[in-house]
Amino acid sequence: MRARAKAAGWQELANLNTWSNGPATALLMTDGTVLVQDYCTPNWYRLTPDSTGSYQNGKWSTVAAMPSNYGPLYFASAVLPDGKLIVNGGEYNFCVGDETNLGAIYDPAANTWTAVSGPSGWPEIGDGQSVVLTNGTYMIGNCCTKVQAQYDEGSSTWTQVGTGKLDNNSEEGWTLLRNGQVLAADVISAPNSELFNPKTSMWSTIEQVPVNLTQSEEIGPQSMRPDGTVYVEGANGLSAIYSASGKWTQGPNLPKVSSQQLDAADAPTTVLTDGTVLGVGSPGVYQTPASFFIFNGKKNLTITSPADAVNDSSYNIRTLMLPTGQVLEDDGSNDIEIYTGAKKVYPGIAPEITKVSKTLTTGSTYTLTGKRLNGFTQANFYGDDSTAATNYPLVRITNNGSGAVVYAKTHDHSFMGIGSKKAVTTMFDVPSTIGTGASSLVVVVNGIASNAVSVNISSGK
């Protein structure tokens, strides 16, 4: 067992994994496990929490590898409404720069990857952006043009969309708004900003960002907060805030550390359960060391960084909200850590179960109905190089007698937007290996759990 980090708020994973190159993009699956790619390879590994629900004490296992010709770095990705994981493009393939148009989709039930061809006429996808729209449609951007495409999983076909785009998609991030539109602070045509309307499949130019947030044709993450604002960090240390009413204002500068201004030229953020934003910056584009901070809605406050941050620039760090309300952090080294904050919950955003069967049978599938099941944010942001949204419901069941914690895989969510006041449904599969008897069930989104519902688990044998 590895020694725990001494940094306040941070704790190393107790169990190491064997990597070829090191951990890269991490994504939360709907069964509560985390899939992490081995940097620049087709290989992926699964982190499964222990029986108490602890990810810090979780165990690693190998899952199926991608097609042998595909080992991407800086790519589009998303967990789809049916619980599958899709990956497209890559600025690099096997660490060789080529803006690849390859792709693959992972079926966790079958533990298989299937190749996905890129949109017709796209010689590249590269480090394109991606987003799952409110109706569950997955959309990606071409790294090097103004066009986008939407994927139909049933027919494995793409439809090109997105007329009216002002500039190339290159380097910009996409943020899903509560009205279902997608916000982009432009990089190539900065300080312009744009909105994509899924109903018309068109972009429209909106109010300019009050400050230029770009440097070296880079920008930082666009973080949607529960209050409806989007906090955008600049590659030059500046920031801006897009209000719920559609107006831009200048935000606070990123912190200075040892008199050096931090920037977010490619950097991750994760929106914490209390609505604050965990961010990371570097003293100059792609420089070391990385420093972590919290945006509290008014200013940025530095916090203690994980142990290996002294060797990092912001761009090689990834952060991911876990169902426990903690944040998983990796940086390409084996120093994978978990951040534990105050665990307070922003008022009025917790999910609520309105209908679910009180008697569950192992190996069976059920429907859960509730409110706010998709949360009020995609939670994890980076931009064009890494997309790991978690705005979908998970189901967690705790046995009253043993205390064992098990996640029931969810799928076929009826809605994939954020901040919805409507009733939403999801299906969940009760594992055949779950313990029987009196239990409590909660639905979790973005690390926030609903009130528990008492259920009884019976054997399906």
> What is the domain extent for residue 430?
352-458
Confidence (pLDDT) at 8: 53
Which tokens sit at 202? 């068109």
Q: Domain end: 339, 365, 400, which one?
A: 339
- 126 and 265 in a single domain? The answer is yes
Q: How much is the pLDDT for 460?
A: 82
- What the block records as the tokens of 453 is 């519902």
Counting the structural domains of the chain, the total is 2
Strand 453-458 relative to strand 359-361, pairing? parallel
d(CA 44, CA 38): 6
| 292 and 319 housed in the same domain | yes
Residues 6+ apart with CB under 8 A from 105: 80, 84, 85, 86, 87, 113, 114, 116, 153
- Backbone phi, psi, residue 315, to 5°: -70, -25
Shared-domain flag, residues 245 and 373: no
Instruction: For residue 261, tell me if it sits in a domain.
Output: yes
Q: What's residue 6's pLDDT?
A: 42
Are 200 and 116 members of one domain?
A: yes
Say which CATH number the domain at 268 has.
2.120.10.80
Tens digits of pLDDT across the chain (461 residues): 333 334 459 999 999 999 999 999 999 999 999 999 999 999 999 999 999 999 999 999 999 999 999 999 999 999 999 999 999 999 999 999 999 999 999 999 999 999 999 999 999 999 999 999 999 999 999 999 999 999 999 999 999 999 999 999 999 999 999 999 999 999 999 999 999 999 999 999 999 999 999 999 999 999 999 999 999 999 999 999 999 999 999 999 999 999 999 999 999 999 999 999 999 999 989 999 999 999 999 999 999 999 999 999 999 999 999 999 999 999 999 999 999 998 899 999 999 999 999 999 999 999 999 999 999 999 999 988 999 999 999 999 999 999 999 999 999 999 999 998 899 999 999 999 999 999 999 999 999 999 999 999 999 87
Q: What is the pLDDT of residue 343?
A: 82
Identify whether residues 321 and 383 lie together within a single domain: no
What pLDDT, on the 0 to 100 scale, is given for residue 342? Answer: 84
Last residue of a domain, one of 290, 307, 339: 339
82, 411 contact by CB (below 8 A): yes
Are 128 and 141 spatial neighbours (Cβ–Cβ below 8 Å)?
yes
Residue 4 counted as domain residue: no
Residue 346 lies in a domain: no
User: In this structure, is residue 345 part of a structural domain?
Assistant: no
Ramachandran quadrant class, 419 (left: phi over 0; alpha: psi -120 to 50; beta: rest): left
Q: Is 195 exposed, middle or buried (0-12, 13-18, 19+ CB in 10 A)?
A: middle
- Comparing CA positions, the residue from 137, 125, 132, 127 lying closest to residue 91 is 127
What 8-state DSSP symbol labels residue 198? T
What integer pLDDT is reported at residue 383 of this predicted model? 84
> Quick check: is 16 in a domain?
yes
- 276 & 302 share domain: yes
Residues 209 and 357 both lie in one domain = no
Query: What are the backbone angles phi and psi of residue 310, rounded to the nearest 5°?
Result: -65, -20
Residues 264 and 150 in one domain: yes
What tokens does 61 get?
Answer: 């296992």
Question: How far is residue 286's CA from residue 312's CA, in Å, rounded to a whole number?
Answer: 9
Same domain, 129 and 256: yes
In the listed set 291, 316, 339, which residue is the last one of a domain according to the structure?
A: 339
Give CA–CA dist 258/167, Å, rounded.
37
Residue bearing tokens 């969309």 = 161
Classified as helix, coil or strand, 165 is: coil
Together in a domain, 293 and 168:
yes
84 within some domain: yes
Token reading at 124: 């590249």
Q: What is the pLDDT of residue 1?
A: 33
Residue 439 lies in a domain: yes
CATH code assigned at 450: 2.60.40.10
Please tell me the predicted confidence (pLDDT) of residue 150: 98
Residue type at position 60: W
d(CA 454, CA 109): 27
Q: Do 127 and 30 sit in the same domain of this protein?
A: yes
Decide if 63 contacts 36 (C-beta within 8 A): no
Nearest CA to 379 out of 236, 222, 263, 217 is that of 222
Total-model pTM: 0.97
Of 274, 278, 324, the C-alpha closest to 447 is 324
Cβ neighbours for 33, distance < 8 A, ≥ 6 positions apart: 46, 47, 48, 49, 407
How far apart, in whole angstroms, are the C-alpha atoms of residue 55 and residue 445?
16
Same domain, 218 and 106: yes
Q: Does residue 262 lie within any of the structural domains? A: yes
